[in-house]
Structure formats: C-alpha cells, structure tokens
C-alpha cells in the first residue's frame, strides 16, 4: 500500500484521539502530546509522558481541532518509565486508542506511525489559535524490542518516524493499535 494513503488512513481513523498537553510551570507553557485511552461517564483518561507534565502548576488538555482547554488532574506518574495518566472531565463521548495486547510479532522493518503535535515553537505563539490538529508521520521499526533501562517488565522500540519537541507522549501506532509511547528524539536512520 502507498505510504501516503496509509498516513491518511491512520490520520482519519485516529487523529481525534490525539490531544495537545499544555503544561504551565509558572515560568511558561511547554507543549507535548497525549492520547485518549479510557472513558467512563464524564471521566476521560489521557496517557502521556511524565516529563511532559513534570513540574506543572496547571496542566490542560486540548482536543484535536479545538481551542477549548480542559484542566487535567494527574492520576499517576512514573518518572522511571516516563509515563503518566491524566484525567479530564468531559460529557461528550470521544474516540479512544487501544493498546496492542501482544507486540511480539512486530519486527524490524515493519511500518509504524507516530501521531503527535509537531512544531512546538510555532504552537507556543499560537496557543489561542482555534484549531490545532496532530500530524501523523510514517516510519519503520529500527531494532527489535529491548528491555527499558534493564527492566524486563518494560520494553523500548527504536523507530524512524520523524519527531521533535512536542512529540513526546504521542502514540506509536502499528496495525491501528498503540505499541508504544514516544518519549525522546534520537538521530537514528534505519
């Protein structure tokens, strides 16, 4: 399948599940990405990276294509694995992303997609813009799953999707499911 067609399909299917995280640390606002993972009644859960929300005095979530901000409550954060779960209150049902239960069949060279908010410097000056949407970037798995910092309970995936600041917390998608959370940029071409 043509990669541009795949990018378009992933975007159309999942972009409304990707959220912009705004972290006001009292000095300024930093931006990152998150994604919707669970909703029960008006309680909506968002996954992101812990470093995206670190030292936040006020953390807000903005849905794709919206200028409305929802104040987030931190339910869980784990610095060692760089993951966090946020909660926002919202009465409108939202599309959710699901995790792939078994990623053992995801191998080197297979196509993946990173859905995230790019161009954070530009976005920082446009925080009052009515409509911001995430971008989907294609890439490939560069190396097989490996233990995260020596902990066999967690794995790490190297991929070639284009990324930069603002992408942290975005889902790495394979076959319409999340197989990882993007947490850092490294120069690696596979």
Q: Where are the domains of the chain?
A: 3-12+97-182, 16-89
- Please provide residue 179's backbone torsions phi and psi, each rounded to the nearest 5 degrees: -115, -5
- Tell me yes or no: is domain 16-89 CATH 2.40.10.10: yes
With a CB cutoff of 8 Å and minimum separation 6, the contacts of 160 are 139, 140, 142, 188, 189, 190
The 10 Å Cβ neighbour count of residue 42 is 10
Model confidence over 19-76: pLDDT tens digits? 999 999 888 888 899 999 999 989 999 999 999 999 989 999 999 988 889 999 999 9
Top mean pLDDT of 37-46, 114-123, 138-147 is at 37-46
**Position 121 pLDDT exceeds 60:** no
Distance from the first to the final alpha carbon of the chain = 20
**What integer best gives the mean pLDDT of the chain?**
86
Closest CA to 183 of 33, 77, 7: 33
The more confident residue out of 117 and 157 is 117
Q: Do the domains at 3-12+97-182 and 16-89 have one common CATH topology?
A: yes
Q: Quick one: fold of 3-12+97-182?
A: Thrombin, subunit H (2.40.10)
Instruction: Provide mean pLDDT across the span 3-13.
Output: 95
Give residue 148's pLDDT: 55
Q: From residue 81, how far is each of 5, 19, 50, 181 by CA, in Å? A: 33, 20, 8, 10
């Amino acid at each position: 399948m043509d990669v541009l067609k795949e990018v378009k399909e992933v975007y159309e299917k999942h972009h409304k599940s990707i959220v912009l995280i705004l972290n006001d640390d009292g000095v300024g606002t930093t931006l990152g990405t998150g994604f919707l993972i669970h909703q029960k009644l008006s309680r909506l859960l968002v996954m992101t990276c812990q470093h995206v929300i670190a030292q936040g005095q006020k953390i807000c979530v903005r849905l794709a294509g919206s200028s409305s901000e929802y104040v987030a409550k931190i339910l869980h954060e784990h610095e060692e694995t760089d993951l966090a779960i946020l909660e926002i209150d919202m009465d409108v049902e939202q599309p959710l992303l699901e995790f792939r239960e078994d990623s053992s069949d995801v191998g080197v060279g297979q196509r993946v997609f990173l859905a995230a908010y790019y161009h954070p410097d530009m976005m920082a000056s446009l925080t009052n813009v009515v409509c911001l949407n995430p971008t989907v970037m294609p890439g490939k798995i560069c190396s097989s799953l490996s233990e995260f910092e020596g902990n066999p309970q967690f794995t790490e995936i190297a991929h070639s999707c284009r990324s930069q600041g603002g992408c942290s917390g975005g889902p790495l998608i394979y076959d319409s499911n999340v197989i990882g959370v993007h947490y850092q940029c490294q120069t690696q071409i596979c």
